[in-house]
Amino acid sequence: MIYCLMCQSIWKIINRLTEEIKVCPVKKFTVSKQVAFLEKISKIKEIVFYVQNLFSQPSLLLTTAQFGVCIVSLSLLSSLPSEFVFNFILILQFSNSCGGILALFWIVGGLPVAANRFRKAFREKLLQRMMYHRKKDEVCFEKVLFEKGDFVLSSCGIFDFQRNSILVLVGTLLSYTIYLVSWHKI
């Protein structure tokens, strides 16, 4: 929960910086203003690094445990005789674990999305400034911008928390469910 709240706070800060860039007039988007934005994003990058180091292992354990509960719940649902109360409890366990994994991937996966928006807004404003002043000798900070993967957090390097990983997770759960159902019918 703390991990998600920290990541959500970070991407809200990045979104605020992105909005500041978008509303900043081209005339005022000077080199010093650009440096100020890059310094802020650099500090945010440091915070993301510390969050990654702090929560890498716990997030792996949490995600693995929740995934295991999802698989066990699905296998018990498909193999045991249907008793309403027991099935209801299994469905609640499955929903809780699946919801936790989805929330984790969605919130933590918001960091790369926010970083991409920032990068795009910064580049667009640089382009507008270059076209406004028609100067090619001006310092271009586009090369200084962070790499695409700088804000992608992972669990011990085993898997990355990105929103597109949600589809992989759903596909894996569906595959296991189909496998378990077909296995129990044999």
pLDDT at 151: 72
Domain that holds residue 155: 1-185
70 neighbors 173 (Cβ within 8 angstroms):
yes
Report residue 184 as tokens.
């129990």
Place of tokens 């929740």: 66
* pLDDT for the residue numbered 143: 54
Query: Would you tell me how many other CB atoms lie within 10 Å of the CB of residue 110?
Result: 22
Tell me the sheet residues that pair with 160.
154
Name the nearest CA neighbour of 7 among 167, 114, 99: 114
Q: CA-CA distance, 23 to 37, in Å (whole number)?
A: 13
Count of structural domains, the chain:
1
Taking a C-beta distance cutoff of 8 angstroms, is the pair 150, 112 a contact? no
Q: Tokens representing 56?
A: 């890498």
Identify the pLDDT of residue 86.
Answer: 79
- Tell me how far apart the alpha carbons of residues 99 and 95 are, in angstroms, rounded to a whole number: 6
pLDDT tens for the chain, 186 residues long, are 788 899 899 989 999 999 999 999 988 888 899 899 999 999 999 999 999 889 888 888 888 899 888 888 887 877 777 777 778 888 888 889 888 888 888 888 888 889 889 988 998 888 888 777 766 555 555 555 555 556 777 666 666 777 777 777 778 877 877 777 676 665
